[in-house]
Structure 1
């Protein structure tokens, strides 16, 4: 019978005693004390090279639900058509971006794992109308890829007393690489777009 040396056995036993690592979303939110903020501002040179792109800036916040499961997502999209706000929920999936028949929702998403996100059409999340589904590739957490379908439910301002309206996204406005930024950049949006949990 072989006996493991303490140098090997102790770390192995500790690994077994610890809970399994949470999903990457939970890990990301834990590192950020319950939240993460991402942004992309497109400069004039980029927009000149992509004249059909209407989006000029994207700000995205992920905040942990109060029960510690999944996340509330808030997105501000600014561009030629004005500013729009998307609010919804996201959860980690080993096989993200699939419809009810296990077909990809968005072909550009490489996955297979990532966030499955769902836009809401009412401020309290009670509406049965779906606001649209979209995936996010968390990558390393320092930069993410956000994928939009051809339309999502969005509000024109922080005032969400009325139901969201669907905003269309052209083919040039559907994939965004966002970089992690200081949480303070998302704090106003987090306060003015409360969740429903």
Structure 2
């Protein structure tokens, strides 16, 4: 069966904070750095419904020509925030990649930990540290500005062919020596539809949620 993002990943907990007296439907903002991250990525703090942000970049021939050891040709990132009432907010990510020597689409999914929380005091406030489940590697998402993020994959990450049923598939060897840090730019949520299998979730993206 097709994986259904974000239900297939375990959400790492983020500190819960209720916004007392707020008139908005926000449920959980977390620590001040965590709330700042939510506002910059999603435009508001997490509320009762899941919320999404999509980032993408397609590298042109000139860029790839000047970076011969970069194999990534396109990268798409979907960040999802969610929080059940009375529970901690959490983040998941979905990452879609194509490489210069193949038109095949690959993907991976992961859960992200707390942002600048008391449990990780050395963590920077504008960075989400994410891990691919089943020891699939680490991906960091760092805020660059309101329109861009930096995605760091220092040691590669487990990826598989989009739509594959094989949990054992691992194509991380496709990442080249220069596939470590990527700047992705905010784009329409519908550009991330390929990273979602659930029809209700797709409907949310089409509605701009």
TM-score with structure 1 setting the length: 0.67
* CA distance, structure 1, for counterparts of residue 178 and residue 147 of structure 2: 23
Task: From 52, 63, 74, give the equivalent of 1:57.
Answer: 74
Deviates more, 1:152-161 or 1:44-53: 152-161
Please list the CA deviations of residues 31-86 of structure 1 after superposition, one character each: whole Å capped at 9, or x if unmatched: 49711000010011111111221110000001123537121200011103543201
Instruction: Answer yes or no: is the 8 Å Cα contact 2:139–2:153 preserved in 1.
Output: yes
Please list the CA deviations of residues 73-124 of structure 1 after superposition, one character each: whole Å capped at 9, or x if unmatched: 00011103543201011234228xx9xxx7x9xxxxxx5741011112xxxx
CA apart distance, 1:192? 6.2
**Structure 2: gaps spanning 5 or more residues:** 1-19, 23-28, 202-209
Residue-pair matches, total: 161
Instruction: Name the CA shift for 1:194/1:141 in 2 (closer, same or farther; >3 Å).
Output: farther
CA apart distance, 1:170? 2.5
Instruction: Name the CA shift for 1:193/1:91 in 2 (closer, same or farther; >3 Å).
Output: farther
In the alignment, what sits opposite 1:181? 187
Query: Rg bigger for which structure?
Result: 1
Task: From 58, 65, 82, give the equivalent of 1:41.
Answer: 58
**Structure 1: gaps spanning 5 or more residues:** 1-15, 105-110, 121-128
CA apart distance, 1:182? 0.7
Instruction: Answer yes or no: is the 8 Å Cα contact 1:137–1:145 preserved in 2.
Output: yes
Q: Which has the higher contact order (CA 8 A, sep 6+)?
A: 2
* CA distance, structure 1, for counterparts of residue 152 and residue 200 of structure 2: 23
Instruction: Name the CA shift for 1:170/1:89 in 2 (closer, same or farther; >3 Å).
Output: same
Task: From 90, 106, 125, give the equivalent of 1:70.
Answer: 90
Q: How does 1:1-197 map to 2 (within 5 A)?
A: 22-27=34-39, 28-29=41-42, 31=44, 34-65=51-82, 67=84, 69-79=89-99, 80=101, 82-94=104-116, 113-120=126-133, 129-165=134-170, 167-168=172-173, 169-191=175-197
CA apart distance, 1:30? 5.1
* CA distance, structure 2, for counterparts of residue 193 and residue 90 of structure 1: 23
CA apart distance, 1:17? 6.4
Structure 2 SS opposite 1:170: coil
TM-score with structure 2 setting the length: 0.64
CA apart distance, 1:171? 2.5
